[in-house]
Structure 1
């Protein structure tokens, strides 16, 4: 150990990483030879190499353990997550990850793990309250319009769910981000389920028709937040159907028992939530084709039936001939019968005593009845008008109440629209305030670049630009042929005219005397 207590200094020995790692390995293996460790088995990994990797833990610490392939086949007890065991082996280090581990040679069972015992006790208590009864579970909607997803926004789970929903039946998805492990997991998941249930139908934020609580696989400790009592009670009390998709197929949490449906994976939850739109369209097309074929077949059967019944009927003339014959027979007997009827009626009329008093009595009776009806008519008309007025008044009251309700609804809608418009206006103003400074700064940079690249900056360094009547003059020959032109300097322009013939050599500068003559 003196190797590590050497004081630091300019002449201190410099160890390599391998030397330090080897020294730690020798010290650890020297102090701890073969040991027996009691603990609960945590996560167990069985890769294709045949080695076994698992964790030994208690309530305060975790030790990584490994059993090599040759020894794993001879173990009397296979390691399983959640059981308490006594592992025998030797402590060593793994330099590749700077950690120590226990090389296990033998495993003996020591009883059920504390976490598993706690989980089973909690499951029985909640089941006794009826939270896991099938009668409490809500049926899933066939085609939800809005789906609420409770999961981590940064994991692969939400991407898998969205991708699967987009492939099967695109729908509106609301994501409630939560922590899916650790101390914050249970309260955040509980708040998310209760928050989705608290949304009002028809509000600014649509209320989900279905909730999916999802998380990827992990150890019992990683998934422990979904075993908390608050999460289970929130799932059981949810008025919205809930699908639990926590862990992989072999992982089981208490929220699975309280949810309306358990999915083995988050992707399977998306498949359970919505049908395949292409399959629905194909099914509808098939049903439409079957309906058309059924209608055609039914019409064909009816036409065939009508044709068969038509063949079973006799000739129309055969049906009418007997009736026509009876008509001819009765026609011959009709005239004598009518004459006899008229004769008998005339005789009865002649036998009746005709009296003026009887006619007057009948007239008075008719007049009295008419007077009675005349007296009854005004009250009846008044009652009829009263009933019509009452009906009209009732309709007017109903119309006024309906108009009041409609105005109130329109006022509430106007208030909501005004609130939304104010929010959008505030966002627009904030966006303008945020985008305006960088745009102004970029415009200033471009203006400075324009000034830097412009020819006015060149004029300040002693150059000049010659302007002719038809544009710029770029040679002495053009200047000599121009009767009058202007020379632009950095601070202004002056007029000039040529007095000397042009100089053919472009490289030779004019003398100062010639330059002055131009002015």
Structure 2
């Protein structure tokens, strides 16, 4: 049986865009503003700052989106696994044919869920050792510079400055930050890191202690101080840090990571610096104790000296033996001086006797005899040396005569020189010379240089000059 298309009748015909727009208007009209409770699933923050996440329960999932401006105004940023109540409006996303919840604000679904998440985060950070007591630093007793991380507006900064001014005049540096909202955590972390990055001795003084302060509020208001980025910055701070967030009953994670927790911002100022009047009174008390102690110590030593003095013998008894020995030596001094004078006189007379002319002449004669003897021995040694040298010189002369070239001339040889007196030893330079000198054993003969004979031939003498050889 053939299928026959039925006529469309009165059914309207839509384009894809028309149908998508109709669905969008229907959804936004029926669900203009809704509050949805569910568990946060996947959370993605785009580079543009928009946040995309899922809301789910045990049977369904709704896609959620929050634009950049809405994310910045959120007191609590959703995390995976958190149960929240999202407020916004239902809309569609036509390019993907899906509907989504455009979320304007998010709040935890009860304090219990938020506290459970906070406890889970606290345990995770404690497991890393960020809260260990061994890592906490001691606060300086009297800091010169105090750094305060808080909002520049409000009563907190005024209370801190007032209390610091009343207790002790110190230099205060304030790093203004947001103390709630999405900007709170990154700004507080940057402030702590910025104070630590200040160089010692630089144009901006580096604080000796930091105070991170905020007034009281709900757990959502204080949530920025529970963020992991703030806790890690506080734990990594090289400058001792005092946390003063909220009232005495409020506890945040930065309190566990700080070096000391203050119940209030005013108490933090009291912990940071001592009272000037108390210091003055304490110093005065120490000064009085020092004076009393010094006086008492001198008195005790004086009494001790008197007690020891009683056990010592009398001074005259100590000096009596020495005085007696002195008297004995004083009586012996004149006789000793006379004996020494007589001895020196005898020595002087002996020395004078040695200086008589006869004695001197005899000494001179003996010296002259020694000198004459030494002179004669020197003359004999010199003559012997001269004879030895003369003998050696004669031997060398005989050797020179026997080995020199004149002796060679005696045996029939001759020495040929050119006109410059240079000795010639081969035919070539002799043929090039203009004149020659031939030295025999009994004299020298000047001759004219002849033509050099060719190899293998004997040179013939010219008719006008006789043969040399």
Structure 1 length as normaliser, TM-score?
A: 0.44
State the structure with bigger RCO (CA 8 A, min sep 6), 1 or 2: 2
The structure having more radius of gyration, on CA atoms, is 2
